[in-house]
Amino acid sequence: MPEMIRVEGLQKTFRVMERRPGLRGAVLNLFAPRHRMVQAVNAVSFSLQAGELVGYLGPNGAGKSTTIKVLTGLLVPTAGEVQVNGVVPWKVRERYVRQIGAVFGYRSTLWWDLPVIDSLELLQPMYDIPPARFRSNLAEFSRLLDLEPFINTPVRSLSLGQRMRADICAALLHEPHLLFLDEPTIGLDVVAKEHIRQFVSHVNRQRGVTVLLTTHDLSDVERLCERVMILDLGRLLYDGSLAGLNDAFESFWSLKVDFAEDYADVNLPGLPAPRREGRQAVYAFDHRELSSAELIRRLLERFAIADLEVRRPPLEETIRRIYQEKLLVDGERGQAV
C-alpha cells in the first residue's frame, strides 16, 4: 500500500510565560515577563500506510493534539519533516485541507444557528463537490449515522452525540483520503458511540479512508484499531499491534471454567489454586509459559467441562500500568520506539 503519512524527527516547542504570584509578580509579569520553553513533541517518527486505522494514545499533555495539529497544517513544527499524501501540510494548507477530514472533540465545524441540513449543503460549493456525488454521499452518511431525526434541527439544539454525528458526516462529504479524529466519542452515550464506531469502521473498510484516532476511551481502540501508537511526555514509546501490546505487558491471563460435574479437587499441577465457587473456577496462568490451548487440554483430560472462557486483562488496565509504572520508559520493554 502507498504511504499516506510520513513523520520524521517531529519536534514542537512552545514559548510559555511564567506567571509570578502576588501584586509584585503581576507588575513583573507585565514589565519584565519571564518565559520558559515547553517541548510538546520530542523527536517523534512514524508512518501510516493508506487504508490504516491507527489509535494514537497518551495521557493528557502527552503531545497527541499537538501532533494532530501539525498533521492538519494548523501548526508549524519547530523541527522535523512531515509529509501527508505527498505534501507538507502547512506549506499548501488551502489545497491540502481539501484532501483531509478532521473532527476535534467539542469543536464543531457546523453553523450554530442553522439547521444541520443547511450546514451540510453549504459544504457542497465550498469543496466543489459534484452535485450528484454530494447527494449520494449525504444520503449514505445520513442513513449510517441516523441523521434523519434531527437533520432539520438547528445545531444549537442538538445533543452532543447528535452534533458529533453531524460533524463526522460533514468531515467526509468531500470524500477525503485521510480522516483525523480527536476524541470523537468524548462525553457520548453508548448509542451515539456505537453509531460513530460503526461509521468510522465503514468508511475505513469500504472507502479505504485512512484514519488516525486519538481517544481516552479505550473501547474505541479495541473496537476499531489493530495498530496503536503510545505517546508520553512528547515521546513516541510504542508503535505496534494492539495484540502485541497485551502480550508484552500482561503476562497473567485467566481461564474461567464451568464444570459439568461436582469435583472435590480441581487443582492442576504447577498452577496456583483457582478461585472456586460451586462448579465454577477461575485459573490464573502466565501465557508466556503456558498457552491457553495447553491449559484447556489439561483440563479436558481430567474433568468434564460445560463451558470455559479465556480472559485477557482489559486494555484500560494495561495502558494504566504502562503509564503509572513507566513500563516503556527508554524503550525497556515491548516494541518500544
Domains of the chain, residue spans:
51-79+88-246, 251-311
Q: What is the DSSP letter of 148?
A: G
pLDDT value at position 276?
93
- The predicted model gives 304-324 an average pLDDT of 82
Q: Tell me the whole-structure pTM to 2 decimals.
A: 0.80
**For residue 329, pLDDT beyond 60:** no
pLDDT value at position 215?
87
pLDDT value at position 302?
93
3 state DSSP class of 299: helix
**For residue 28, pLDDT beyond 80:** no
pLDDT value at position 331?
43
Pairwise CA distance, residues 333 & 266, whole Å: 35
To the nearest 10°, the Cα dihedral for 73, 75, 81, 86?
0
**For residue 138, pLDDT beyond 90:** yes
pLDDT value at position 296?
94
Residue bearing cell 453549504: 122
pLDDT value at position 191?
85
Whole-number Cα distances in Å, 255 to 214, 263, 283, 292, 293: 32, 17, 5, 8, 11
Q: Where are the alpha helices (DSSP H) in the chain?
A: 22-31, 64-71, 93-96, 116-126, 131-145, 160-172, 190-207, 218-224, 242-249, 292-302, 315-324
Q: What percent of the chain has pLDDT over 90?
A: 58
pLDDT value at position 335?
45
pLDDT value at position 316?
74
pLDDT value at position 333?
40
**For residue 334, pLDDT beyond 50:** no
The 10s digit of each residue's pLDDT in 171-211 is: 999 999 999 998 888 888 888 888 899 999 999 999 999 99
The 10s digit of each residue's pLDDT in 153-173 is: 999 999 988 999 999 999 999
Average of per-residue pLDDT values in the chain: 88
pLDDT bin (cut points 50, 70, 90) of residue 330 is very low
pLDDT value at position 328?
61
**For residue 301, pLDDT beyond 70:** yes
Bridge partners, 257 (sequence order): 281, 308
Q: Which amino acid is at 184?
A: P
pLDDT value at position 251?
66
**For residue 11, pLDDT beyond 90:** yes
Which residue did the predictor score with more confidence, 108 or 150? 150
**Contact between 244 and 334 (Cβ < 8 Å):** yes
**Lowest mean per-residue pLDDT among 33-42, 266-275, 317-326:** 317-326
Please check whether the domain covering 51-79+88-246 is classified as CATH 3.30.70.141.
no
The 10s digit of each residue's pLDDT in 276-293 is: 999 999 999 888 788 899
The cell for 97 is 485541507
b/e 11-36 (16+ beta carbons within 10 angstroms → b): bbeeeeeeeeeeeeeeeeeeeeeeee
